[in-house]
Structure 1
Amino acid sequence: MYGAYSAVRSGTAEWQGASGIADVDSGRPTTPQMEHRIGSITKTFTAVGVLQQVRKGHIELDAPIGRYLPELVPGERGRTITVRMLLNHTSGIGDHAGAIFATADSIEGNRFHQFDPRELARLGLKAEPLGKPGQAHHYSNTNFVLAGLLLQKVTGKSPEAYITEHVIRKAGLRHTYFPRSAYLTGPHSKMYEAAYGGFNPPRDFSVYNLSWAGTAGSLVSTMADLNRFYRALLGGELLAPAQLRQMKTTVPTEDRTLRYGLGLFRLQLPCGEFWGHNGLVLGAETWSMSSADGRRQMSLGFNLTRHQKLDGNGHPETGPIDVAMGAHIGQALCGKSDSRLPGLTDPNPPHSPLVAPQERPLPAPRR
């Protein structure tokens, strides 16, 4: 692992630390305050924005999405898929990422491409459905692109502007933002993608236009900001009690240790129940988890992704890096360095909370 940074909280005690390097060429070290692409943790922020509008009566959770976005989701789908199904990934809508990153060349080719969210929504809706509406949990980034377009429809603002004003600022976050270009503006690490050995050496993707992820995965934050965000959310600072209860109403996933609410997952560990999300984009992976009372928290970011080796069947193998990360998380959340905690070391289990389920294996890059 090139570099990692983490923020941990236990009651009123806080710790921040970093290890390794932020730039393999210069040897520049990582620091605990580095800004980092947090990927799908963005989904929690987007869900909070939608639920704030539910509180105001502008959105109904169990209303069909076709009521709000008839031009994008017409016909039977528009009548049967509800807002709630988007937020808990039971809509069955396919993932637009599969179309965008269908070839090896597209990974590099989309580095500076600006995607329109409506284009993304249409690609996801055109993709092979993952299931029937309401039938089961099937993770798809397109659900949260549509959630962002829903926010825009009812507020009259871009979803990024609304979330910045009513979620990020309301939570008191000072280093969390939607980037306006492919470049990050604050102190940050370079972000390296190994593609399970397909990029050798790993390639730097710290400069990348995340418009393909939008309100599903483009936010930048720090580990301390993430702890503050989930503490504010679970403490009732961002949502009224009724909407927070809805957010924490979960459905089962393929991973028995994980249940998914509305842009929020619940992870059951031997030492208790934790809430949060994870994220994975090219070169940057993040985990953020918090006890329900906000007294025990852990956020961890690292700058080398898909670092594992593949076995004979093409599946990632657990290695020393995974074990070390499991030990860190076990120490942070449960007070003991137990890398055998469920879900903490398997690099690619179905819907593991610690390996972003939205990310399909990358197509083999050309060397």
Structure 2
Amino acid sequence: MRNPLDRAALDAAVEEVHRAGIPGLFAEVRDGDEVWRGAAGVADVDTGRPVTAGMRHRVGSITKTFTAAAVLQQAERGRIGLDRPIGRYLPELVPGDRGDAITVRMLINHTSGLAEYLPYAYPSLKAYPVLADTGPQSLDDHRLTRFDPAELIEMGVGAPAVGAPGGTPGVYSNTNYLLLARLLERVTGTTAERCITRNVIERAGLRDTVFPEGPHVEGPHSRLYEAWFGMIDPPRDYSVYDMSWVGPSASLISTVTDINRFFRMLLTGEIVGPSSLAQMQRTVPVISQEGKTIDYGLGLHPMEGPGQGTFWGHGGTVWGGGALAMTRADGRRQMTVAVNLQRWNRLDSSGKPQPHPIDDALTTLYRVAMYG
């Protein structure tokens, strides 16, 4: 059943998210050829400069869907075997028995058992996921740090395993996707960023989607405010940041329009072939970075809607910024939302994030966007 876009309800929903505490947000919702774009709040809390729906934004781990699609394309060309051990391609990075046991597929769907490197690269996050024992100091220390991806991978591979290769539930880890980036480099002879740009971004006709060449977001954009669970008060601007700490795992800059276009083309078979798309939609249980068990495919995450079928997409966060993309399986109904505040939930005495009005307001926005 088709639910036409309720523009007044969408306008009210984004305003309510702003009133609940997000400085600024912007979104695009589509139903076939019908399009609504909206924004509420400010891009800069000091000057009051407003956000607009066309702004560029760091979209975080939505990047993973792009990287996964690039790997699937190479698999279609016979250059990568999804069930071949990563040690066959990158023995220097994942040596020995682990390299023989972990397949490319396990990297894409986070069942490799490889740990997240981030708490080792950012010492103040060493206690993660015990949030009460973490602190934001490393975020400032590494604003302009240029990380070597091989060193980040070594941190993740060298850390205690979080599971057996292929075991479920898997554990979400950026280490997996940095390895996939090195795999793309090994089989294509170019950087992962160039491979993804040429074969995915340009193939999809995306005009405002780029990997950053430096710490700045080029073009109109919002500042990005990080609260780190109330430990940064008031929230601090992290919009200027060297993104080598995540690289092709989570560093893309895009717009809500481009992200919707990408997922629409992906789910209608214009980025990878039907067999590859079917594999991307084959899910396993994975423990997210928030500690929740989710279904996860090959760079895609399904979200069920009451009576409306399955929506596919991905979310992403960086320091201060976040985005969420959802597209119905037929590619018709879509939503991408970008926000300029992260980790707004304060912690209780046990270190657990507490509910915040922003959470309910965002849930309402998603419901209005996807179900009418």
> Same fold by TM-score, threshold 0.5 exceeded?
yes
Shift of 1:128: 1.7
Q: Does 1:209 align with 2:209?
A: no
Q: 2:302 corresponds to which letter in structure 1?
A: R
Aligned to 1:122: 154
Q: Does 1:60 align with 2:103?
A: no
Two-structure CA RMSD over aligned residues (Å): 1.2
Judge conservation of contact 1:258–1:267 (CA < 8 Å) in 2: no
* Equivalent of 2:110 in 89, 103, 108: 89
Aligned to 1:276: 313
SS of aligned partner of 1:4: strand
Shift of 1:157: 0.4
Identity within the alignment, %: 51
Aligned to 2:139: 107
- Measure the CA separation in 2 of the matches of 1:98 and 1:174: 34
The superposition leaves residues 261-291 of structure 1 with CA deviations (integer Å, 9 ceiling, x where unpaired) of: 0011111122321100000110001100100
TM-score where L is the length of structure 2:
0.88
The superposition leaves residues 238-274 of structure 1 with CA deviations (integer Å, 9 ceiling, x where unpaired) of: 1011111111111123589841100111111223211
Judge conservation of contact 2:23–2:43 (CA < 8 Å) in 1: yes
Judge conservation of contact 2:172–2:287 (CA < 8 Å) in 1: no
Aligned to 2:12: none
- Measure the CA separation in 1 of the matches of 2:254 and 2:272: 21
SS of aligned partner of 1:242: helix
- Measure the CA separation in 2 of the matches of 1:192 and 1:248: 33
Judge conservation of contact 2:73–2:272 (CA < 8 Å) in 1: yes
Q: Does 1:313 align with 2:334?
A: no
* Equivalent of 1:226 in 221, 235, 259: 259
Judge conservation of contact 1:190–1:204 (CA < 8 Å) in 2: yes
TM-score where L is the length of structure 1:
0.89
Judge conservation of contact 1:284–1:303 (CA < 8 Å) in 2: yes
The superposition leaves residues 59-90 of structure 1 with CA deviations (integer Å, 9 ceiling, x where unpaired) of: 00000000000111110000000000000000
* Equivalent of 1:173 in 206, 210, 215: 206
SS of aligned partner of 1:41: helix
* Equivalent of 2:231 in 193, 198, 208: 198
Judge conservation of contact 1:38–1:286 (CA < 8 Å) in 2: yes
- Measure the CA separation in 2 of the matches of 1:311 and 1:301: 27
Shift of 1:179: 0.5
Q: Does 1:6 align with 2:3?
A: no
- Measure the CA separation in 2 of the matches of 1:127 and 1:83: 19
- Measure the CA separation in 2 of the matches of 1:257 and 1:31: 34
Judge conservation of contact 1:257–1:269 (CA < 8 Å) in 2: no
Judge conservation of contact 1:94–1:142 (CA < 8 Å) in 2: yes
Q: 1:3 corresponds to which letter in structure 2?
A: G
Range that drifts further, 151-160 or 299-308: 299-308
- Measure the CA separation in 2 of the matches of 1:319 and 1:111: 28
State how 1:239-254 maps to structure 2 within 5 Å.
239-254=272-287
SS of aligned partner of 1:297: strand
Q: Which runs of 5+ in 1 are unaligned?
A: 336-367
